[in-house]
Amino acid sequence: MKGDFNAYVATMRKIADISHAISLLSWDKEVNMPPNGAAFRTQQVATLSGMAHETFTAPAFKENLDALYEVREDMDIKSRRNIEITKKKWDRAACFTTEFVMKKSKITSEGYHAWLKAREANDYGLFKEALRKLVDIKKEECELVGYTDHPYEALLDEYEPGAKVADLDTLFSDVRNQMVAFCRKIADSQQVDDSFLVKHFDKDKQWDFGLDILKVMGYDFDSGRQDISPHPFTTNFAPTDVRVTTRIDEQNFGSMTWSCIHEGGHALYEQGLPSSEYGLPSGNAVSLGIHESQSRLWENNVGRSLPFWNAHMGLAKEYFPEQLGDVDSNAFFKAINKVVPSLIRVESDELYYHFHILIRYEIEKGLLEGNYDIDHLNEVWNAKYKEYLGIDVPNDKEGILQDIHWAYGSIGYFPTYSLGSFYAAQFFAQAKKDIPDLLSKMEKGDTTELLAWLRENIHQYGSTYPAEELCKRITGEGLNFKYFMEYAQEKYGKIYAV
């Protein structure tokens, strides 16, 4: 039996339809849903999750997939990769019963609402029982899936296929060995002035400014929209419907601006995926590390660069003449790149940011190893912030409750944030080689050629190539931490004269 590729595509698109219906319900939960809708929304998502799982694990689909897998070497690379990735996902999904999938979905939905209440009350105690259930279900998932070296890899593989704990340990060792010393040099230097960024900025003007920045980046509002949510995120239902959310702090200009640019980078990737591959791996992002590379490239390599603000400082002054009228682009550039330890990951500078990720990585590993008591995990969190960033955590809301990821059961996700920054630096270095006048174009407010370069080299391929292979195709080598350090040393060396 050779298998029916068209039947495979039809089933994959049916599953995608169900999955995107779940995503739409989840988007609505965070943006529009009234408080009393939570119980039935949990039930609805659980039901749809069960339907998607049953469709994917149906015997007929498995039989056809196995037949196609046997003849995959006769296929073109895109079709072959689609079958190989789907087979790997099927083997993983087959480890779970429908009951387990629905149980996991229910625990996750309950965890989200418990996190919201705990965050509002600034009390970790209201979340710890939900977190205990989330960790227990993830431990069960690890054992069902299986692993070679460490249970964390069973979860990590879902977000960054093929990544190993040993490699991450080495990566974060490089972060410690190279970035700690560099950040200490910066700490000993004269600090930049960013006082003009923490004045009162009207929320409606911030909202309109954010929309303009998204348009500058190339975000297509005919294929997307922006809304407000407690934690900024990007979601997609097709390349023609990619939505972003932001949050606004009227006393902090950077909170909304950088979440808009960051989520806009994610959205540009999703809008650039081929619509013809809807529902297939070749129509989805290859990994979260690569996905994060797109958001971090726009947020930091572009959005925190001097050329970008030489072009758009005038726009910022139009919206906020009282706050920014006397600020030139060079002073603004220095201010938005201020390096100082901070409590909140999403508002951290791009250097200390990786210590935030390191802390979460160590805690996640420790939870799976059983090294931490969940009842007192906030104390572990606080101690690590004191150790790595030298700061005291004043409360749970600004500490262990600041991120939504564990409430979603997304353990194994955080390392992809650091991977994304390092991929971004390497990709941007290559883009500057391939587009020699890139910086001068950015200085004129033109990022269209950069977006076209990303579309051509990354977006169009979806998951056709594994992350490491994609990186080699673009830059001639696998992920190399040196590009991030070279970028950081050049940029911050000038700002802080180190």
- Catalytic residue positions? 263
Burial class (CB in 10 A: 0-12, 13-18, 19+), 118: buried
- Nearest residue to 117 via CA among 391, 467, 401, 334: 401
Helix (H, G, I), strand (E, B) or coil at 285: coil
Q: How far apart are CA 280 and CA 288, in angstroms?
A: 17
- Nearest residue to 26 via CA among 222, 319, 324, 245: 245
CB 130 within 8 A of CB 343: no
In order, the DSSP letters of 225-278 are: EEEE-SS--EEEEETTEEEEEE--BTTBHHHHHHHHHHHHHHHHHHHHS-GGGT
**Which residue type sits at 473?**
R
Q: How far apart are CA 349 and CA 351, in angstroms?
A: 6
Cα diameter, the chain? 73
Burial class (CB in 10 A: 0-12, 13-18, 19+), 149: exposed
